[in-house]
Amino acid sequence: MKYQVIARKFRPQTFEDVVGQSPIVRTLQNAIEMDRAGHAYLFCGPRGVGKTTTARLLAKALNCAEGPTSKPCNQCPSCQEITAGQSIDVLEIDAASNTGVDSIRELRENARYAPSRDRHKIFIIDEIHMLSTSAFNALLKILEEPPSHIAFIMATTERGKLPATILSRCQQFVFRTIPPAEIQEHLKSIAEQEGIRLGEGALDYVVKAAEGSMRDAQSLLDQIIAFGGQEITDEEVREVLGFIPSDILDRSTEALIARDSKALIEIVEIVVDQGLNLQQFVREFLSRIRDLLLAKLGIAEKILGTPEERKKIASDSKEFSEQDLIRFFDMLLRLENDLRWTSEPRFHLEVGCIKLAKVGQLRDIEEVIRELKNGEGPRTEPTPKTTRRARPAPEPEAPGRRAVEAPARKAEPDVPQPEIRSATESARPEAKTPKQAPKPTPAPPVRPSVEESPTPPRTAPPVSKPAVMVPAKSSLEERFRQKVEEKSPTTALYLERVETVREEEDRIVIEVAAKTVANSLASTEHKQILEAAASELLGKAISVSHIMKKASESATEVTSTTSLRESVKNEALVQSFLDVFRGDIKHVKGAEDSKKESGE
Ligand SMILES: [Zn+2]
């Protein structure tokens, strides 16, 4: 007997055999059983998901000698002729090759005559969206008043291209892509019936490549059987289907874990040398990252592949943070898109891979802030910079870092207030800058002890870490600072740099030394917070204004941009950031202002 392709050989012959479209099948069967079959059906959906198959089954159901029946016999001449595509009363028309109005006129002519033997004259029109406008109009004429013996079953992959007048006269059924598990199950049973032995992952690859289309899956199965015969290994399947060999993907993952850009470049070379498609490589790398992400989220069972592969991916996923993987995914997605138009895909891919390796070293800022908050200090390799940080007394050092945590406070509002207050307060000596240096109390360690003088606790008594807790004085200034911190840690950070805060009749005056700080606090965002805090504190609407401190008192040491940069670098807050992000200061804003101040 002549060889028959799998898709034809295993074409479903009963409604029950249709895979993955049970709601549609059930509806059609019910309609027939209740004698409510329509005259015009429209089956929409992607290629290879069972539209034509279902159309033929419906034709059989309508025309079976035993029917109309929801279970066509497949024995009577009508059923058998439909199966073979030879029924004179069931006409299959491919609209893609008969787009013109003439073919529809011919069809209309034909439709006028009664069926020659069967109950109905059925027209199955495939790719209906390909018809011309005049053809659609001709078709509409029949659909408006169809003879009772006529049934139209139309199929399309592009429902959007159909005129609304046609759509509104059809019963529409939307076919979905077939879930991978159902395709896999079906292929497995076909392989068994054909006596084909497939490797464990082979079907996974076929299912992956089929992208929800049963016909594609079956064609691919044909292809790999033609290549490998009765026994087919996973790697053979990969090769036939044009997948990137799994060891290349494994090596890519390992290189990414090691953040080894050199290794990634070598992998690109291998991909090029083996004549593999670069875009395909990126797509599969992307899919690997997706798998790692799923494993990271604890849903490894969603990953296609053998149990060993899943296990490997799960263990690899521990080497990445969720943020890393999301970032990798985004970058690869962009890279895949870029490769479409670039004239130098290899270079593009190489640079993309280097970026991937580098981006892995970025830290999640939330995580950094959390660490700083917990007083662990930034988790970075020691750099020469850290030696400078050892300069201040050890006591204020840790709290100095704590000052960095302030912006994150919104996330954890239940942290006791005084602790933060005193911590940031005691951080001040470390944050010594030339601007603050000439103040009346220049000795850095002295100031914390002033702050630590035991006074009754203010509002919001602390509940934890009594060792760090220092009751603070409840002066207006202190309460104001605290109020602001409650509202906005960022504003509070700027307020740190303010010299004094005092009440003056109906306003609060803050005295600022650095112009940059003054400018920031004058911005609408901060000003609103300051005024809201002041109003709440004093129980009435109140304005906040700032005055500049005398120039002679401040910034006397700042004479050049370089020394300004150095002085900023010595600030505890700045140092913490420099350490965590391993950065350097490129530019200090406000340098001009400071110079002017010192020059006056
Ligand atoms: Zn029959």
Q: Above pLDDT 90, what percent of the chain? A: 28
CA quadruple 108, 109, 110, 114: dihedral sign: positive
Query: Which of the pair, 12 or 476, is modelled with greater confidence?
Result: 12
pLDDT at 125: 93
Instruction: Determine the distance separating the centroid of ligand 1 and the alpha carbon of 53, expressed in angstroms.
Output: 16
pTM recorded for the entire structure: 0.55
**Rounded distance between C-alpha atoms, residue 356 and residue 349, angstroms:** 10
Distance CA 332, CA 385 (A): 34
Q: Where in the chain is the domain with CATH 1.20.272.10?
A: 246-359
Residue 71 CA to ligand 1 centre (angstroms): 9
Residues 6 or more apart whose CB falls under 8 angstroms from that of 596 comprise none
Length of the chain: 600
CA 51 to ligand 1 center in whole angstroms:
20
Amino acid at 101: V
68 cis-preceded (ω within 30 degrees of 0): yes
- List the Cα angle 479/484/486 in 5-degree steps: 95
Domain with CATH 1.10.8.60 in the chain: 180-240
Q: At CA 205, angle to CA 199 and CA 206, rounded to 5?
A: 95
pLDDT at 2: 67
Q: What fold is seen in the domain 246-359?
A: Zinc Finger, Delta Prime; domain 3 (1.20.272)
Under 8 Å between Cβ of 358 and 261: yes
Ranked by mean pLDDT, the top range of 109-123, 361-375, 398-412, 559-573 is: 109-123
| Residue 43 Cα to ligand 1 middle (Å) | 23
pLDDT band (50, 70, 90) for residue 563? low
Write out the residue limits of the CATH 3.40.50.300 domain(s) in the chain: 6-174
Q: Which of 469-473, 500-504, 590-594 has the highest mean pLDDT?
A: 500-504
Highest mean pLDDT among 162-176, 369-383, 399-413, 529-543: 162-176
In the reported structure, the alpha carbon of residue 28 is separated from the centroid of ligand 1 by a whole-number distance in angstroms of 17
Kindly report which listed range (79-88, 260-269, 388-397) carries the lowest average pLDDT score: 388-397
Q: What tens digit of pLDDT does each residue of 28-66 get?
A: 999 999 988 889 999 999 999 999 999 999 999 999 998
pLDDT, tens only, 159-210: 999 999 999 999 999 999 999 889 999 999 999 998 888 877 788 888 888 8
How many angstroms is it from 117 CA to the middle of ligand 1? 13
SS (H, E, C) 305-321: CCHHHHHHHHHHHCCCC
| Residue pair 144/16 in contact by the 8 Å Cβ criterion | no
DSSP 3-state assignment of 509?
Answer: strand
- pLDDT tops 80 at residue 67: no
Distances (CA, A) of 271 to 165, 275, 282, 290: 52, 6, 11, 21
Say how many Å lie between the CA of residue 73 and the centre of ligand 1. 4
Class of residue 301 by CB neighbours under 10 A (exposed 0-12, middle 13-18, buried 19+): exposed
Over residues 257-271, the mean pLDDT reads 91
CATH class of 6-174: alpha beta
Helix axes 489-496, 476-487, angle to 10 degrees: 140
Q: What is the CA radius of gyration of the chain?
A: 38
CATH number of 180-240: 1.10.8.60
Reported confidence tier of residue 467, pLDDT bands at 50, 70, 90 = very low
Given a cut of 50, whether residue 541 has pLDDT beyond it is: yes
Rounded to the nearest angstrom, the distance between the alpha carbon of 32 and the centre of ligand 1 is 14
What does pLDDT average to over the chain? 77
pLDDT in tens, 330-366: 999 999 998 888 888 899 999 999 988 887 555 666 6
- Quick one: pLDDT at residue 375? 66
β-strands 40-44, 171-174: how paired? parallel
